[in-house]
Amino acid sequence: MKPAAKSNIDQNSVPLLEARGITKVFGDLRANDGVDLVIREGEIHALLGENGAGKSTLVKILFGSLQPTEGTVLWNGTPVTLRSPSEARALGIGMVFQHFSLFEALTVTENIALSFDSDVPQRHIEQQAGDLSIQYGLPLDPSAIVGDLSVGQRQRVEIIRCLMQDPKLIILDEPTSVLTPQEADTLFETLLRLRDEGRSILYISHRLNEVKQLCSRATIMRHGKVVDACDPREETASTLATKMVGASIANLVVQPPKDRGDIVLSIRNLSMDAANPFAVALRDISLDVHAGEIIGIAGIAGNGQGEFFAAVSGEDMQEDAESVVLEGVPIGHEGISQRRKRAAAFIPEERLGHGAVPQMVLTDNMFLARHASDADEFQKSQPLRVIARNVVNAATKRVVEVMDVRKSAENPPAAALSGGNLQKFIVGRELDRTPKLLVVNQPTWGVDAGAAAHIRQALIDLAANGSAVLMISQDLDEIFEASTSIAVMADGRLSPPVLVGETSREDVGLLMAGGQSDAA
Amino acid sequence: MEVWVSIIISVCAASTPLLLAATGELVVERSGVLNLGVEGMMIIGAVTGFSVAQVTGNPYLGALAAVAAGAFFSLLFAFLTLTLVANQVATGLALTILGLGLSGMIGEGFVGQPGIKMQALEIPLLSDIPVFGKLLFGQDLIFYLSIALVFGVSWFLFRTRAGLMLRSVGDSHTSAHALGINVIRIRYLAVLFGGACSGLAGAYLSLVYVPQWVEGMTAGRGWIALALVVFASWRPARLLVGAYLFGAVTIAQFHAQATGIAIPAQFLTSLPYIATIVVLVLIARNRRATIINTPASLGKPFVPDH
């Protein structure tokens, strides 16, 4: 790949886009507070910040989806008002969204046609999209239904759709969060090519290595404010991280690997049909998890991880009891409560609505999650089995203290907690039982760096104390940081686990792309 | 032969109100809104059409008034669910109850009056062709309109840009909003169209099918229309098949009763409803087709961030 350096950008020319004092207030929250941003022609500009720092709000304002409470946007030095995305597109601003703004039931061509403001004949669009896809090396089938495409293919649709407008500025919101390392490299080549054509790119990410590799300018946001603007090539990943978080993040304490203990969880030839057209079938999965181990399951979103979690946790039960064995007992036919009673614990991906009932207070959520496993403690022994409030309250308090859950009230509804704090609560709720087996799906998805480090450390400590941990994650950094062994899930199949020291990101990336043979 | 022609014409008459109301509701649901008030909007159309025709002596004015009344009544639903973001299911049910009650009140003075029937068009020469002439060229205006509407809606949804935008809003309102498509405006227009169609369907009942006013005369046809939309898996051409199938079952039931076939009348009357349930169960079996065609944001409220 070509080096990112290209410093012939004139720092004194009129910038392509300038935001001055952008402020956006939602109720009490100042999502953006006097934000300044300067993007010059032909530069790849990074917008860095943690989840909730206000990056998404800022780009929505720049793309016309949101109106700022205060502040102005200048385009080539002229103040402009962006009342809608179509006005932004007319100026030459294009956007590739993080959670794709595609329509699953429509074809690729129809999706592209929708981003035009006028009625362009579809065969015209088809031809132009075909030309662009050849020109930028982004293969696409224009008549495919988007719901049938992989995540990487969907991103290509988004990029082509954006390029159809011949934009001067392209905004990419966390584009690599859904890609394999190889797919990400292809994306970077496309981006550098676009930059060399004189287009500007606003690149939003919290992956510092990418930013250092790709960008010549960075604006760093924290709590809605710009805290620094710098040249990321002159910084180290750790100085950038410190600016982003505002404090240095504690390094994980990884225990030296001990001898593996007994097998805790044994999965044998687990297969499940897809429950609906957009689900993935699980195919012949076998895996042993020993005490003291953290097996990280890497993979691109939508390759069967959700289905695998549901099968292991008992949300989807198996016909063959032997397909899931916990400490020697076949449990494949048992439901989630029975599995929990056998000292297994499960943390689903979705915090609100799956891991917790959003409108219910923490103590109620505590009771609901553990009503079966802790029935003897949480319910009084009298015939009516009334909830023992004081016991539940004490357990909640314990979790809040151990996991450092920060909350605004004594016992707030789950939805009132920030993502990171709620996730700490949900993880802590299971750890508090000291389970023999913990299965967790996306332990730190959308969680700030401080909370993520806390959660990963807690998982490592649990394994060090003799429990088995199965961790499904799309975050390769997390997989490599916290796991003892790594297995990769692609298209409903699971590769055999490999010790973390004996594999590399490249190898894992190849497996994520489906590079394993059926014999593997 | 003559018997069959008259049977087919009566099937057309039984099917037309179902087809009209279902076509309107199909457009509404394709935009992601679930309006369960079809029955209420139909009955409002029926009473308005009948009373305006009585007062003016012109059934066509009655039909026009019914279209306007249906649209106006659906505007209430649109305002509550789209602007005030009320629950669509509850509001739709309320609309039905309100429509039934309101129509009874408006129509009180018209009960028992002989109505003015909208006459069939007799296209000279063509309608004199034996057998087919009467079938193809000798029916009432609304019948022709209902057929044209199905093809028009199909063309609109799948061939025009506006139709594509409407489908996109029904598939994912957040994505549509992010692209700058005015979700609320499109839904308002779709709901109004649905109301107008239901109004016309009601007028067909009180001006053509049984030209008189009887309280509650829609008799559950609005609910069948709703089921038909699912039956057709949100595709207009299948709606045509479905509506005529149900129309035929309705007429078959009359004839079976008339010829004295020894089946309890209650069973025959319930045939269309039983058929609805059977068809819904059969459709649910093909999950892929259902999921691809079902508007993904059907019934979900949309609140744009500001």
pLDDT category at A39 given cuts 50, 70, 90 is very high
The minimal CB distance from A85 to the residues B161, B180, B306 is found for B180
For residue A31, the SS3 value is strand
> Does A17-245 match A263-343+435-512 in CATH topology?
yes
Chain B touched by A352 (CB under 8 Å): no
Give the residue extent of every domain in chain A.
17-245, 263-343+435-512
Structure tokens at A200: 């500007």
pLDDT category at A4 given cuts 50, 70, 90 is very low
Lowest mean pLDDT among A286-300, A432-446, B36-50, B115-129: B115-129
* Residue range A492-513: mean pLDDT, rounded: 89
**What CATH superfamily is the domain A17-245?**
P-loop containing nucleotide triphosphate hydrolases (3.40.50.300)
**What CATH superfamily is the domain A263-343+435-512?**
P-loop containing nucleotide triphosphate hydrolases (3.40.50.300)
CA distance A22 to A47: 15
27-66 of A, contacting B, C-beta below 8 A? 64-66
- Residues paired with residue A494 on neighbouring β-strands, in sequence order: A489
Residue B180, min C-alpha distance to chain A (Å): 5
Given a contact cutoff of 8 angstroms between Cβ atoms, the answer to whether A347 and A438 are in contact is: yes
Q: Is the pLDDT of residue A295 over 60?
A: yes
Q: Please give the pLDDT value at position A512.
A: 85
Given a contact cutoff of 8 angstroms between Cβ atoms, the answer to whether A509 and A487 are in contact is: no
pLDDT category at A108 given cuts 50, 70, 90 is very high
Residue A342, min C-alpha distance to chain B (Å): 36
Lowest mean pLDDT among A190-199, A424-433, B212-221, B280-289: B280-289
Q: Please give the pLDDT value at position A457.
A: 93
Q: Please give the pLDDT value at position B193.
A: 98
Q: Is the pLDDT of residue A519 over 50?
A: no
- Count Cβ–Cβ pairs < 8 Å, chain A vs chain B: 67
Select from B31, B174, B179 the residue whose CB has the most chain A CBs within 10 Å, as the one to mutate to test that interface. B179
User: Tell me, what's the ipTM?
Assistant: 0.82
CA distance A147 to A107: 9
Structure tokens at A72: 């102005």
* Residue range A55-82: mean pLDDT, rounded: 92
**Chain A residues with CB-CB distance to B174 below 8 A:** 101
Select from B29, B161, B173 the residue whose CB has the most chain A CBs within 10 Å, as the one to mutate to test that interface. B161
Selection from A362, A344, A487 nearest residue A414 by Cα: A362
* Residue range B103-126: mean pLDDT, rounded: 88
The minimal CB distance from B180 to the residues A84, A119, A145 is found for A84
For residue A229, the SS3 value is strand
Residue of higher predicted confidence among A94 and B289: A94
Residue B190, min C-alpha distance to chain A (Å): 18
Residue of higher predicted confidence among A501 and B207: B207
Q: Is the pLDDT of residue A226 over 80?
A: yes
Q: Please give the pLDDT value at position A450.
A: 80
Chain A touched by B165 (CB under 8 Å): yes
The minimal CB distance from A113 to the residues B164, B292, B296 is found for B164
* Residue range A369-373: mean pLDDT, rounded: 92
- List, in sequence order, the alpha helices (H) in chain B: 2-30, 38-56, 59-78, 88-106, 132-137, 141-159, 161-171, 173-178, 183-204, 221-231, 236-258, 265-269, 271-285, 287-293
The overall average pLDDT reported for chain B is 90
Q: Is the pLDDT of residue A448 over 80?
A: no
Q: Which residues of A189-208 are buried (b: 16+ CB within 10 A; e: fewer)?
A: ebbbebbeeebbbbbbbbbb
Structure tokens at B208: 């053509």
Considering chain B, what percentage of its residues have pLDDT values greater than 70? 96
CA distance A55 to A235: 21
Q: Please give the pLDDT value at position A242.
A: 81
CA nearest to B168 within chain A: A103
Structure tokens at A177: 């969060």
Neighbours of B265 (CB within 10 A): 10
Q: Is the pLDDT of residue B145 over 50?
A: yes
Q: Please give the pLDDT value at position B100.
A: 96
Structure tokens at B270: 């319930």
CA A41 to chain centre: 30
First CA to last CA distance, chain B: 65
**CATH architecture for segment(s) B2-293:** Orthogonal Bundle (1.10)
Q: Is the pLDDT of residue B194 over 70?
A: yes
Q: Please give the pLDDT value at position A517.
A: 38
Chain B touched by A113 (CB under 8 Å): yes
Residue B71, min C-alpha distance to chain A (Å): 28
Cα Dmax for chain A: 80
Q: Is the pLDDT of residue B306 over 60?
A: no
The minimal CB distance from B168 to the residues A103, A277, A278 is found for A103
CA nearest to B180 within chain A: A85
Given a contact cutoff of 8 angstroms between Cβ atoms, the answer to whether A150 and A104 are in contact is: no
CA distance A240 to A202: 17
Strand ranges across the sheet with A217-222: A93-96, A169-173, A200-205, A44-48, A217-222, A225-230
Q: Please give the pLDDT value at position B158.
A: 93
Burial class (CB in 10 A: 0-12, 13-18, 19+), A336: middle
For residue B116, the SS3 value is coil
pLDDT category at A2 given cuts 50, 70, 90 is very low
- How many residues are there in chain B? 306
Chain A touched by B9 (CB under 8 Å): no
- Compute the half-sphere exposure of residue A427: CA atoms within 13 Å on the CB side of its CA: 33
- Compute the half-sphere exposure of residue A429: CA atoms within 13 Å on the CB side of its CA: 30
The overall average pLDDT reported for chain A is 87
Considering chain A, what percentage of its residues have pLDDT values greater than 70? 92
Sign of torsion over alpha carbons B29, B32, B34, B35 = negative
Per-residue pLDDT tens digits for B44-78: 999 999 999 999 999 999 999 999 999 999 999 99
Neighbours of A89 (CB within 10 A): 23
**Chain A residues with CB-CB distance to B233 below 8 A:** none
Rounded to 5°, the CA angle B156-B157-B163 comes to 85
Structure tokens at B49: 């059409």
Given a contact cutoff of 8 angstroms between Cβ atoms, the answer to whether A191 and A204 are in contact is: no
Q: Alpha carbon of A451 to those of A255, A421, A423, A467: distances in Å?
A: 20, 7, 8, 22
Per-residue pLDDT tens digits for B228-287: 998 888 999 989 998 998 898 888 888 877 777 777 767 876 776 777 778 778 777 776
Selection from A475, A479, A481 nearest residue A179 by Cα: A475
Q: Please give the pLDDT value at position A408.
A: 76
Q: Please give the pLDDT value at position A255.
A: 61
pLDDT category at A24 given cuts 50, 70, 90 is very high
- The helices-and-strands tally (H runs, E runs) of chain A is 17, 21
* Residue range B144-156: mean pLDDT, rounded: 97
Chain A touched by B167 (CB under 8 Å): yes
Check CB contact under 8 Å for B296 and A113. Answer: no
